[in-house]
Amino acid sequence: MVLSPVRVVAMSFAAAIVVGTALLLLPGAVEPGSSTGFTEALFTSTSAMCLTGLIVVDTPVHWSGFGQVVILALIQAGGLGIMTMASMVGLVLADQIGLKARMNTAAEARASELGDVRDVVIGVIRLSIGIELVTAAALALRFALGYDEPVLRALWLGVFHSISSFNNAGFALYSDNMIGFATDPWICVPLMIAVILGGLGFPVLFEIGRRLRRRAPRSRSRAGWTLHTRLTVSVTAVLLALGFGAVLALEWARTLQGYNAAEKILVAAFQGVMPRTAGFNSVDYADLDDATLLVTDVLMFIGGGSGGTAGGIKVTTFALLLFIIIAEVRGERSVTILDRRVDTRVQRQALAVALIGIGLVMTSTIVLLAGTPFGLNELLFEVTSAFATVGLSTGITAELPHWGQWILILLMYLGRIGPITMVSALAARQRGRRYDLPAERPLIG
């Protein structure tokens, strides 16, 4: 029996999570005197493989060096797997459909002009490791020179947080995450840059790198950018600015009141970047205003770029939905973005991804509200963070009952593989009818 690419993606992630759980259940994975239950191991393995960062045990205290290596390996495997699979799905499907559908599928699966599968995989690995090495070097130097960490310890801290940041995982080797480095730009800025690059997605980074190597004239370079890259970069920039501005304005006289102006800007910028969806935090989210949490909910749900390490419904999906609304308000017969017409099938895919995401978040929040003592803001934040594979939390993850943590496990898994498998399935299925049913228009609005 030949498995479809959709099933291969889902089963590969599930198998990796199972292996990670088994390794984390080993006695050597925890510090002496500690023990790990099955739910804790499964939750941590899922969170690492799905690049989320939610935790039910204190990472640096509970897990031994071996356990931390397992977590890091899961993060790296999850990041490389997601990026390569997202780019490879279109190439695999291209052998099963016609020429016109091949071009559409390649664009939808972010595999346009990426060459064969081998070139895609090699390119992703080189790019990922290159960015991670540069980030690790910057962080290790700061840990060694600025915090007097021993060389090996500084290297380990640099490598761990570099891989965690580029892969948008949010796992940290400090019990308070990055709160202790909230005002240190030499730690925060490299983390932010790595998070943004990972969140843009491999297809965008690949195209930018190709353009830089060619060193084309500016006018020609602009004209040749793909719609996907232009949308991803522009919408990401807008969302980063909105996140930064919202945190700065809403928390200026509250959580940020103890910092000077420059420090407030750094802290607000850090928290504006992390919903891309990294999960590092330099402030305690339990102390933030409800309005700030709601803004963060929206940013987390949108997420980052397609074909990258970020989660959420993706910025291109969000942008397309906005343009659909604009076209409908204007009474236009087709949806156009940056002088390009968008196929109606792609519009339906965007609506399906967004509405299914909303359904999962709302249903899970209602169930947890009915069965736990926590409030709406806390649970909506937790559920959105899990589905969008962010990892930000107000601190209630470990306090949820086991059945509540299993809901988050399922959300993390669906949130990670869902957009890829869903869009791939929709792209692969083109069932046409030999007849049309009578048309009728229900009242809308």
Best mean pLDDT range from 162-171, 211-220, 409-418, 429-438? 162-171
DSSP 16-28: HHHHHHHHHTSGG
Q: Is residue 112 pLDDT above 60, yes or no?
A: no
Q: Is residue 129 pLDDT above 60, yes or no?
A: yes
- Give mean pLDDT, residues 61-75: 96
Q: CA triplet 407, 408, 409: central angle to 5 degrees? A: 90
Q: Is residue 355 pLDDT above 80, yes or no?
A: yes
Which of the four pLDDT bands, split at 50, 70 and 90, describes residue 86? low
In contact, 369 and 396? CB cutoff 8 Å: no
- Give mean pLDDT, residues 112-131: 71
- Give mean pLDDT, residues 21-30: 96
- Give mean pLDDT, residues 96-117: 42
Please give the pLDDT value at position 132.
96
- Give mean pLDDT, residues 161-173: 95
Please give the pLDDT value at position 176.
93
- Give mean pLDDT, residues 344-373: 92
Q: Is residue 402 pLDDT above 80, yes or no?
A: yes
Q: Which tokens go with 411?
A: 């959300």
Please give the pLDDT value at position 311.
87
- Give mean pLDDT, residues 362-385: 96
Q: Which tokens go with 223?
A: 């004209």
Boundaries of every domain in the chain: 5-96+116-211+228-427
Q: Is residue 404 pLDDT above 50, yes or no?
A: yes
pLDDT in tens, 235-245: 999 999 999 99
DSSP 298-363: HHHHH-S-TTSS--SS-HHHHHHHHHHHHHHHHT-SSEEETTEEEPHHHHHHHHHHHHHHHHHHHH
Q: Is residue 276 pLDDT above 60, yes or no?
A: yes
Please give the pLDDT value at position 80.
81
Please give the pLDDT value at position 9.
74
132-141, 185-194, 322-331: least confident range: 322-331
Which of the four pLDDT bands, split at 50, 70 and 90, describes residue 84? low
pTM, entire model: 0.88
Please give the pLDDT value at position 419.
61
